[in-house]
Structure 1
Amino acid sequence: MDAIPYASSMFFYYSAHNERVEKLRRDELAAVNSPDSARQHIAKVQARLKKIFGPFPAIPPLQPVITGTVEKNGVLVDKVYFQSRPGHFVTGLFLRAVGSGSDLPGVLGVCGHAEIGKGQDKYQLFSFGLARKGFAVFLVDPVGQGEMLQFRSNNPGYPDYVKSPTHQHNQLGKQLLLNDELLCNYYVHDARCAIDYLLSRPEVRPGKVAVTGNSGGGQMSYYLFGLDDRIEIAAPSCHMNKLAWIFKDEIATDAESSPPGLRGCLGDRPDFLIAGAPKPCLLIGQKRDFVDLRGLQESYAEAQRIYRALGQEENLQLYLGPGVHGYHLDGREAMYGFFTKYYFGQADPVEPPLELLTAEEYTVTPTGMAIDLPGAKSISAMLYEKLPPSPRPNSGPAFAALLRDKLQLQTLQPPVPEYRTLRPVWRGEGKTLCMYAIVSEPGTTAVPVLHCITPASEPLLPEGSRASLYLAHLDAEQELLAMEDCQS
């Protein structure tokens, strides 16, 4: 490869920054060599995570509603919704075996990026499997999935709602970020409220619960493991990774996966495991997952250093399956064995034959959308209501001043950046077209190229107090590829 592709340049740029942070992080972890230093490090990590996520809202009266009950696989399934914020409804399924009585260990089930959320087959299966083994399970939809879609489609002929979880998450994440809020906080708050509901059920053993999920649900599992003391054991599947490999492998992440400030304070994803240490945790991965196996193994090793220093390394385990991304049978059975041994003293890993709920059976709300419930509001509407009244800028200079303030741009005239004159230079019709490479920051791999047209005969930067800057809708790489397509 002669050059770094333009589309990859941002990842290379942040990889370089990441390496500098990673060295500081390694030095910090290397200093953990005793139980006292491990406890001090755990306290430091917990403080960092709490600062990043900020104070969570108080858990309000949930006002739960059960809209129906289904029996399948020898399991009773209550269809439930509750309010985690006024007007914000969370939908879920509460499962327990027929005739199981009370004092059941509770498990919160959290979903990955499936359009139908809790209706996805593998999420249904692990919930039924756990219920059959003596657990009470609450499987909830995340924001932007299942019955909790936020954005409608305005395109004729398309479904009423935009079904892509990634679109739902990132559109909402941008709106929240512009208002100094984070989507990950909403996710965690909804899940914390779901734990409250789970513990309020008379069938559930009071005190603490377990959590499991795959992909985005795996992330929510380790978020909660590190952030909520009521989680006593976790089994996150197919998500744990080091941020270094996110950059190196150019893995896209949604808004809830990227808490601002995490890397800046030497944080990383394994810190959620460290914050929860020495509680039991089973990391589940697959050898052919797009989540880099090296990142999973390095995360395990980092967290295991803390567990080992506390003398409880057996509490953190790693299972690697042979497959691709997903909560497959082998991963689910590893989780069953881990949970049943912890709660009942003997591992019971085998999943029994199970039938899936139909869409009608797993749908909680009358229309299939929580936002259609009486009194419901979208998160966007809630944000709009919270906006302070502020007049719009009524002139160009006023708008420019607003942008400078919000984007924290320099108020003084910035110095002329380093630039290089590139060849060739084209001359014709009394004008000269010349190119300049602008070095905006040392170490950048993508150098912006400025094309200038000047009446001078030599490649000189034009002089004057004003200039017109044209930004094309294609970068050069896209344009060249388009030209090749036309010629082929």
Structure 2
Amino acid sequence: MKRLLFVLLSGLSLGAAHAQKPYDVLDWRAPVTLNTYLVQQLHGQYDQRRTALAAALQSEPAMRAYQDSARLRYRRLLGALPAKTPLNAQVTGTLPRDGYRVEKVVYESRPRYHVTASLYVPDGAAGKRPGVLLFCGHEAESKATESYQKTAILFAKNGFVVLVVDPISQGERYQLVDAAGKPLTRGGTTEHTLLNEEAHLLGSSAVAEQLWDNERSLDYLLTRPEVDADRIGALGNSGGSTQTAYLLGFDERIKVAALCSYVVSGDRTLELSGPADGCVMLPGAGAARLDGADWPIMFAPKPLLILAGRYDFVDYPTIQGYQAELNQVYARLGRPAQTSLFTYDDGHGISRPKREAAVAWFRQWLYQESPQPVQEGNLATLSENELLSTTTGQVATAFAQEQLLPQRHLGQARELAGRRKKLRGPALTAAITRQLRLPALAALEAPVQVERRETVQPKGVALQKLILRREGQVPLPALLALPAGSAPVSKVVLWLPDQGKRSLADSVALLNGYLAQNCAVLLADLRGLGETTDPEQFNDKKYFNREYRNALTALQAGQPLLGQRVTDIFMALRFVHQEPRLRAAPVELYATGRAAPAALHAAVLTPAIARVFPSQTITSFEQILTQPTDKDWYSVVVPGVLEYYDLPDLAAALGAKRLPAAPGAAAKK
């Protein structure tokens, strides 16, 4: 609704807006241009996925091959995972309850990195019982949340051993904390997102890190003498359902599953509501053609129940579409009865009817019972403090040697810096091209179409409006100021301000100074900046990035924003090369803020930039790890970049002649 309202208001006010912004060039809804482009890229990627699935559904061998391919693509996205190490599990307390007991559990998924959990064990006769992993959504109380306690209790009263796990950044496991263990951000979704951007730089993700915790949680559950290793299930709600889905595609030990209020990040979801937080978003999933249904498809034909609320903010038609695909997959694999969609007329969350449906499903398949209803009754829950597994309530303060994710990330980055090769010349340009997902140099330097629009001079300096176009790219709006006469210019000054070209277009003294020296000035708005800035209402402030929607959608498509902005710079350079008055002149490039890292990369890639002056910007990618709560980092995140180079490496490659001032210093005029 918010998106629709914006579209309507934008259309009604278009003429007025352009009258008020004399330096704007584009005559359409420019602020949503980049997002429209990115969603179209995703649609193309997911159209390929839908075509591949349709072909796979023609035979069982083809369907099995599709599953194998999806698993392989998923594993590649996850990157390298740690080795399994001793869990060093502890039961720190036991709470006897009515028909079951709750054990407070702590174990290490990695050395000096603790996971807190609650284990619900039924009373009764000895013998092994089915085990269930329960993954929590984004509630701060995590395992102590009332609905998760009731879910675990209902399962325990029906004969299951249940492990309820605190996710990263929730419950007792906050990672970005001060010396007293107090969180530095306002909630788990923010922390997930900041940790995710850190991990991306190292070739990993919060998804992979949470997956590993959950994998080790399963390992712990299987150490319990009460648990039958051949009867293991998993379920989760909201973000916990996403955790569950990611585990289903990874570990074959799970035999039955349920996903409730399944949060996903396919093309329809990204178009309708934008990206979720960092524990959901897996960079490159679109490029790998993995949609929300693909993780359940990897699990097929094992029994899988989808639990949905008809009025959930999670788009119900999307869930219906996923279930329709699952129905076809399970039918092709000869098990049509082993998947089902349970819908209740409520909203988000694992409510009582959904809990009852989940327990009935698990009893049907893990106890081999004929389907029969389950009644919950009145269930007494415990307080958050009663369920604490640590003495202080946070692993950060409970364990003196605890190594939290920010420290691990920074240590890994510095280890990479110490051992990576110092790339130069073709090796460095190849690394940049690969990491930024750029096309070959010939495509970067391909001709541009130039649409010349009116000339404006509200402050006395004549500025011609230009739109630079190239097939398959976002149109680039620009303003061109030329010195009087028709003689070739002595220099071209290309300005890329973070706040957009209009922030300099009124700088009469600056522009006249250049023109007096026979210099041409080209002011351009890189995609997502200036007049194509994404509207504020589409970028929740909790994500600490003013263009989170576009930055994450770009990463989903496998096209980092930084790389796309390098492409824009090459379009501007090609325009200069095509213009008779400009082509022989050296180009000096000035860029600020989010445009500056793109300028630095472009300068390494082409000698067409004689000198570059980046300012008011990040000085290294490692700075993101040393200042993790600063804002707008996602705008410059490049997955895996620290395995190959950092920004100081680019500065060294350019040298003082082409880079007179280090990145971050004030730009010289």
Aligned twin of 2:103: 78
Aligned twin of 1:90: 115
| From 438, 449, 454, the counterpart of 1:423 | 454
Q: Is the 8 A contact 2:242 2:264 kept in 1?
A: no
CA 1:467/1:307 → structure 2, altered by over 3 Å: closer, same or farther? Answer: closer
Counterpart residue identity of residue 436, structure 1 = L
Aligned pair 1:471/2:501, yes or no? no
Q: What SS does structure 2 have at the residue aligned with 1:60?
A: coil
Q: Separation in 1 of the partners of 2:354 and 2:39?
A: 31
Aligned twin of 2:402: 376
| From 37, 45, 58, the counterpart of 1:21 | 45
Aligned pair 1:361/2:386, yes or no? yes
Q: Separation in 2 of the partners of 1:440 and 1:68?
A: 65
Further displaced range: 344-353 or 86-95: 344-353
Aligned twin of 1:187: 210
Q: Is the 8 A contact 2:263 2:280 kept in 1?
A: no
CA 1:8/1:218 → structure 2, altered by over 3 Å: closer, same or farther? Answer: farther
Aligned pairs (5 A) from 1:86-165: 86-99=111-124, 101-152=126-177, 159-165=182-188
Counterpart residue identity of residue 49, structure 1 = Y
CA 1:463/1:237 → structure 2, altered by over 3 Å: closer, same or farther? Answer: farther
Q: Separation in 2 of the partners of 1:70 and 1:224?
A: 29
If the length of structure 2 is used for normalisation, what is the TM-score? 0.64
Counterpart residue identity of residue 499, structure 2 = A
Structure 1: segments with no counterpart, 5+ residues: 483-488
Aligned twin of 2:287: 264
If the length of structure 1 is used for normalisation, what is the TM-score? 0.86
Further displaced range: 65-74 or 5-14: 5-14
| From 450, 454, 466, the counterpart of 2:478 | 450
Aligned pairs (5 A) from 1:156-175: 159-175=182-198
CA 1:96/1:427 → structure 2, altered by over 3 Å: closer, same or farther? Answer: closer
Q: Is the 8 A contact 2:85 2:110 kept in 1?
A: yes
Q: What SS does structure 1 have at the residue aligned with 2:177?
A: coil
CA RMSD of aligned residues (A): 3.4
Aligned pair 1:204/2:227, yes or no? yes
Q: Deviations over 1:402-458 (max 9, x none)?
A: 9967657787984564343333612554x22343233366363xx443344555499
Q: Separation in 2 of the partners of 1:38 and 1:391?
A: 43
CA 1:463/1:102 → structure 2, altered by over 3 Å: closer, same or farther? Answer: farther
Q: Deviations over 1:316-340 (max 9, x none)?
A: 1111111111111121111111112
Q: Separation in 2 of the partners of 1:391 and 1:61?
A: 28
Aligned twin of 2:463: 433
Q: Is the 8 A contact 2:131 2:233 kept in 1?
A: yes
Q: What SS does structure 1 have at the residue aligned with 2:64?
A: helix
CA 1:450/1:471 → structure 2, altered by over 3 Å: closer, same or farther? Answer: farther
C-alpha displacement at 1:216, in angstroms?
0.7
| From 239, 264, 268, the counterpart of 2:262 | 239
CA 1:311/1:416 → structure 2, altered by over 3 Å: closer, same or farther? Answer: closer
Count of equivalent residues: 472
Q: Separation in 1 of the partners of 2:536 and 2:384?
A: 44
Structure 2: segments with no counterpart, 5+ residues: 1-7, 15-27, 501-528, 538-669
Q: Is the 8 A contact 2:176 2:406 kept in 1?
A: no
Q: Deviations over 1:210-231 (max 9, x none)?
A: 0011011111111122211111
Q: What SS does structure 2 have at the residue aligned with 1:69?
A: strand
CA 1:457/1:125 → structure 2, altered by over 3 Å: closer, same or farther? Answer: farther
| From 33, 37, 42, the counterpart of 1:9 | 33
CA 1:404/1:37 → structure 2, altered by over 3 Å: closer, same or farther? Answer: closer
Q: What SS does structure 2 have at the residue aligned with 1:388?
A: helix
Aligned pair 1:289/2:320, yes or no? no
Using the aligned pairs only, state the percent identity. Answer: 25
Q: Deviations over 1:147-178 (max 9, x none)?
A: 11110259x9x954424112111111111110
Counterpart residue identity of residue 405, structure 2 = I
| From 207, 213, 216, the counterpart of 2:239 | 216
Aligned pair 1:324/2:324, yes or no? no
Q: Is the 8 A contact 1:128 1:354 kept in 2?
A: yes
